[in-house]
Amino acid sequence: MASQRFDHLQYCIRCCMPETQEGLKFDEMGICQACQSSEQKIHINWVERERVLRNLLEDVKAKAGNNYDCILPISGGKDSTFQMHVLVNVYKMKPLAVTFSHNWFSETGWYNLTNALEQFDIDHILFTPNRGLVNRLAKKSLSAIGDSCWHCHSGIGAFPLQIAVKFNIPLLIWGESIAEASGRASYLEPVRKFDREYFTKVSAKVKPEDMVGDGLTEKDLQPFMLPSAEECERVGLYGIHLGDYIFWDDERQTEFVRDTYGWKETEIEGAFKCYKSAECVMPGMHDFTCYLKRGFGRSSYQASVDVRNGLLTREEGFELAKKDMERPEALDYYLKITGLTEEEFYETMKSKRVPQLQGVDLPVIEKTRPNRERILPYPQQLQEDMSPKK
């Protein structure tokens, strides 16, 4: 089988990440920042950091009075359940959970979300953009940012902030540290302040106002708007990542939420782990477009995490990373909702390639068996199953 490894690209000498990852910086030895972070992580005094967190949260509770103590943005993924455990059962907080739905919930994801809310007895606000809007945005997203998921990147950034402002709740609490995955922060210098530009910069990249056109109006795009600087200022918005204060271990946490709270894994296209983005039917699409742009996808990323943690050798990592090249079933659904042809899809993706990969052959392989879970948003599955047959 062909390899997804490209001879002319520089790869981290420790893990499987190539130079084409956004924001990636190598040190003089050729080690990427995520690998450096994973070393820092071992030398951090986590007992001390936990004490800082405990004091901070005690302070927050005292100030909140009868209001919610914090906003907890959740997707229904394993981090959501773990964050709820930490905040509610360990620190006795009263969070307001907020979900911006991509409207692409998997059946497993819908179960995990509602199960977590039941397990922890948490109040919850769910926002779901309508189907037609999601479909139109998914189409525009490809040409705008080179993946299918602008509405999700943008909505999960903006919507919790809107709710924080409306409910006057200054603190937002996320899960995994930014240092874990990207070159954007390190464990030694965690990001604490989040200005409103932050989300546009790091994930959505294109502002809602720039998505207008092609059947999308400014009115359509209101749910994706960040609150104004004045509003953020008035409430005193700030955010923390629990992963900067408590030792983050995806594998152990997944086992813990599964065995303790009944969280469920599912097969995820393009990935060899069954817990990241389990709430969505489309991650395979997102990660495949990453491969077509940058020459690596979710499997390279997951393999790199395991290599860092000593669970795989680098060579074993590259072997597993071949899954990045698989054409996902989610592409069929994507073509259906956007009306694009497969040729148009690949043409657009070609124009989105990083300079290092232009003119390079990017092999694509067919999947050998269908995904265990249906690649159709759960609400649509329910409609199919339960509406009267014509």
Of the two residues 81 and 300, which places its CB atom closer to Zn ion in the complex?
300
Nearest-approach distance from CB 12 to Zn ion, in angstroms: 3
Nearest-approach distance from CB 259 to Zn ion, in angstroms: 31
Of the two residues 35 and 173, which places its CB atom closer to Zn ion in the complex?
35
Nearest-approach distance from CB 32 to Zn ion, in angstroms: 3
Of the two residues 324 and 329, which places its CB atom closer to Zn ion in the complex?
324
Of the two residues 27 and 209, which places its CB atom closer to Zn ion in the complex?
27
Query: Phi first, then psi: what are they for 68, rounded to 5°?
Result: -60, 150
Query: Phi first, then psi: what are they for 280, rounded to 5°?
Result: -120, 150
Of the two residues 32 and 97, which places its CB atom closer to Zn ion in the complex?
32
DSSP 23-74: T--B-TTS-BHHHHHHHHHHHS-HHHHHHHHHHHHHHHHHHHTTS-SEEEE-
Residue 136 token pair: 């139109």
Nearest-approach distance from CB 306 to Zn ion, in angstroms: 12
Nearest-approach distance from CB 344 to Zn ion, in angstroms: 35
Nearest-approach distance from CB 35 to Zn ion, in angstroms: 3
C-alpha to C-alpha distance for 343 and 31, rounded to whole angstroms? 37
**Taking Cα atoms as reference points, which of 376, 375, 349 lies closest to residue 362?**
349
Of the two residues 32 and 292, which places its CB atom closer to Zn ion in the complex?
32
Residue 186 token pair: 């390190």
Give the residue closest to Zn ion by C-beta: 12
**Taking the mean position of all CA atoms in its chain, how far away is CA 101?**
12
Residues near Zn ion (CB under 5 A) are 12, 14-15, 32, 35
Residue 383 token pair: 């409609």
133 membership: H or E segment, kind and range: helix 131-145
Nearest-approach distance from CB 22 to Zn ion, in angstroms: 14
Tokens 């779901």 belong to residue: 128
DSSP 216-229: B-TTTTGGGPPPPH
Give counts: helices (H), strands (E), the chain. 16, 5
C-alpha to C-alpha distance for 100 and 57, rounded to whole angstroms? 25
Nearest-approach distance from CB 11 to Zn ion, in angstroms: 8
Of the two residues 10 and 356, which places its CB atom closer to Zn ion in the complex?
10
C-alpha to C-alpha distance for 295 and 355, rounded to whole angstroms? 11
**Taking Cα atoms as reference points, which of 370, 138, 346, 365 lies closest to residue 267?**
370
Q: Considering all CA atoms of the chain, what is the largest pairwise distance in Å, rounded to the nearest integer?
A: 66
Of the two residues 303 and 362, which places its CB atom closer to Zn ion in the complex?
303
